[in-house]
Chains A and B, each alone.
Chain A
Amino acid sequence: MLAKPDSALVIVGHGSTVNPDSSAPTFDHAEALRVRGVFGEVHCAFWKEEPSFRQVLHMVGRDDIYVVPNFISEGYFTTTVIPRELELDGALTRRGGRVIKYCEPTGNDPRMTDLLLRRAAEIAPGVDPAQTSLLIVGHGTGLNENSAVAAKREVERIAARGLYAEVLNAYMEEEPLIAKWDEYSTQPNVVVVPFFISDGLHSYEDIPVLLGIAGASPGAASAGGREVFQRNPYHLRGRTLFYASAIGTEPLFADVILEQVAAFDAVHAA
């Protein structure tokens, strides 16, 4: 088991100025890891919240610092914003007696496939995967172009396991559109899992509206927030639909964060 009492862990996330659920999973995973006592200290930092990327290193006491981005894929934030704001020289930064070790984003971890499968099975207990279409929802392209690539990669990996009758990608603003889920999925059961780091407007409101399981009036679904995940299954368009919360809320993400640290050490021979 990993034991790093002389090291600090800093988990960095995006955060939000309007919604506390954006940073909540990152804080939760940090708390879980703090309780386990793997690191001498554990901190979080966010682009849109406090502590900010610019503040967090002032919180750290130890000189050996692992930084793990809690992001679904490599992209603009992991390659541009985080290195710039933390003033990193690359994977390894030595500055003022400190060593900062920049790890891979959590979403890159090979365990994502298992976590998605686990979440899918959890929300649809007793439902036969052989009669189920599994939809992995990703952000569309744009600044975070790699998140769509990551979602596609997960769909391919899950499909290769041959458990589900079909495994499909779906996006909010590009084909295949979430809104048309009943047109391209063929099975009587449909399980929808957002491949996102956290819940928020997308998972509480936008996706439920697109799926047709919540009213389109603003705030209709968000009024209940998490409730939208508790009313499974939904019977509509002749199918039985199960809707999961964002994969990043899975407590096993704490292990994925540790895995990024172990992977860093393996590559850079600690």
Chain B
Amino acid sequence: MSRDVEKALADWLAGGGDRIGEIVIARVPEGWELRHAEDAGHADLALHAQPEAARHLANLDAAGNFRPLKTVPTLVRGWRLVLGDIAAVRRALDYFYPAMTGAWLSHTRGELVPVVLRETLGRQTGMYRVTQKLTDPQARELIDRVCAGCLKHRLWEIAAANPSSPAFPAGSLPLLCHEACNLLVAQAREVVKKAERAVT
């Protein structure tokens, strides 16, 4: 296997890593325990033991709304997930924060190539082709609005790679955004459509 995400995760945990997004990971006699960071010290948590439980825990926010973007900090509280091995921890994290362990490994290997917004929009076809009309000020406003509510660190800019290098707290696994998500692209469409309606 040319890329071993599980080994990278195991090394990170062994090196004292204990935090990813809103989740804290702790060594327990049974293996590993994941819980919401704000539930640290709580005893009355619902116990889960299968990595697949993470998929259902990550699905809806506390108000019952679907969470299409998992790095929006609306993960529900009140649970703990105890897993026996690293493979299970990795699977659970792939549900809680899809692709983030893999993207981080790619980043450390220099393989996570940031794609600037203009390139992402320039590639769109069908109903999203219109996003190519997004102006720079509109893009700026959109990024400030949408990405502000997301825990990922943006590696891209509107027309250039984001020069600010990620400064992550020690022990925290970085959540990296190497390219605008579909939610942002869909919002870009709304912005362009709205501006077009305003002039007609």
> Please, how many angstroms separate the alpha-carbon atoms of A103 and B127 in the complex?
25
> Please, how many angstroms separate the alpha-carbon atoms of A76 and B178 in the complex?
25
Q: Are A20 and B103 in contact (CB under 8 A)?
A: no
- By size class, the interface of chain A is 20 to 34
> Which chain A residues numbered 28 to 53 have a C-beta less than 8 Å away from chain B?
31, 40, 43, 47-52
Tell whether A50 pairs with B102 under 8 Å between CB atoms, given A17-B183, A61-B2, A61-B3: no
**Does B84 belong to the interface (CB within 8 Å)?**
no
Q: Are A50 and B70 in contact (CB under 8 A)?
A: yes
> Please, how many angstroms separate the alpha-carbon atoms of A20 and B95 in the complex?
13
> Please, how many angstroms separate the alpha-carbon atoms of A58 and B105 in the complex?
8
Tell whether A81 pairs with B125 under 8 Å between CB atoms, given A15-B68, A54-B179: yes
**Does B195 belong to the interface (CB within 8 Å)?**
no
**Does A63 belong to the interface (CB within 8 Å)?**
yes
**Does A84 belong to the interface (CB within 8 Å)?**
yes
CB distance from B67 to the nearest CB of A (A): 8
Q: Are A59 and B102 in contact (CB under 8 A)?
A: yes
**Which one of B10-18, B29-37, B38-46, B52-60 is at the A interface?**
B52-60
CB within 8 Å: A-B pair count? 79
CB neighbours (8 Å) of B59 from chain A are: 20
**Does A186 belong to the interface (CB within 8 Å)?**
no
Tell whether A51 pairs with B99 under 8 Å between CB atoms, given A31-B52, A59-B94, A80-B125: yes
> Please, how many angstroms separate the alpha-carbon atoms of A16 and B59 in the complex?
12
CB neighbours (8 Å) of B183 from chain A are: 17
CB neighbours (8 Å) of A149 from chain B are: none
Q: Are B68 and A56 in contact (CB under 8 A)?
A: no
CB distance from B125 to the nearest CB of A (A): 6
> Which chain B residues numbered 104 to 159 have a C-beta less than 8 Å away from chain A?
105-106, 111-112, 115, 123, 125-127
Q: Are B181 and A52 in contact (CB under 8 A)?
A: yes
CB distance from A40 to the nearest CB of B (A): 8
Q: Which of B66, B112, B115 is within 8 Å of A18, CB to CB?
A: B66
CB neighbours (8 Å) of A47 from chain B are: 182
CB neighbours (8 Å) of B71 from chain A are: 50
> Please, how many angstroms separate the alpha-carbon atoms of A176 and B178 in the complex?
46
CB distance from A21 to the nearest CB of B (A): 9
| B residues neighboring A (CB under 8 Å) | 1-6, 52, 55, 59-60, 66, 68-71, 94, 98-99, 101-103, 105-106, 111-112, 115, 123, 125-127, 178-179, 181-183, 186
Between A and B, 17 residue pairs with Cβ closer than 8 Å are: A16-B66, A17-B66, A43-B94, A49-B68, A50-B71, A50-B181, A51-B99, A52-B99, A52-B182, A55-B103, A56-B99, A59-B98, A61-B2, A61-B4, A62-B1, A63-B2, A76-B126
| A residues neighboring B (CB under 8 Å) | 15-20, 27, 31, 40, 43, 47-52, 54-56, 58-63, 76, 80-81, 84, 97-98, 143
